[in-house]
């Protein structure tokens, strides 16, 4: 039985502040966590004393176009299809160079 999720790794999203981001897998997150700074932008998931529990339903890891990542609440991001290829390919190239 497949687990229900709102987002999938590889989805292009846009935050409510207008920044584009790419939903990343837990493997990619663990690879870039030491190399990339966490953005702490409005809408990131925060619970004092709680470890990250990436489930793509309540906590969504996103790599943003400013070169930072965040674990976001799903209500503060939305999937986007506008300008998908240009932004998505740019973000994927940024991740590859990390």
For 40-56, write each residue's pLDDT tens digit.
Answer: 777 666 655 556 678 88
Q: Whats the size of the chain, residue-wise?
A: 98
Query: 79: closest CA among 21, 40, 29?
Result: 21
Distance of alpha carbon 56 from alpha carbon 22, whole angstroms: 13
Mean pLDDT of 15-41: 88
pTM score: 0.83
Mean pLDDT of 35-42: 82
Indicate whether 63 pLDDT > 90: yes
The answer to whether residues 14 and 78 touch, using CB atoms and an 8 Å cutoff, is yes
Distance of alpha carbon 56 from alpha carbon 62, whole angstroms: 10
Indicate whether 5 pLDDT > 90: no
Query: How does the average pLDDT of the chain come out, rounded?
Result: 83
Mean pLDDT of 46-74: 81
What is the SS3 assignment for 85?
Answer: helix
């Amino acid at each position: 039985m497949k687990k229900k999720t709102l987002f999938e790794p590889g989805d292009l999203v846009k935050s409510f502040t207008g920044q584009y981001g790419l939903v990343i897998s837990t493997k990619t997150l663990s690879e870039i966590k030491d190399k990339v700074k966490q953005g702490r932008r409005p809408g990131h998931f925060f619970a004092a004393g709680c470890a990250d529990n990436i489930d793509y339903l309540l906590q969504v890891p996103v790599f943003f176009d400013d070169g930072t990542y965040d674990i976001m609440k799903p209500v503060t991001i939305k999937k986007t299809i506008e300008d998908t290829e240009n932004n998505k390919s740019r973000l994927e190239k940024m991740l590859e160079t990390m």
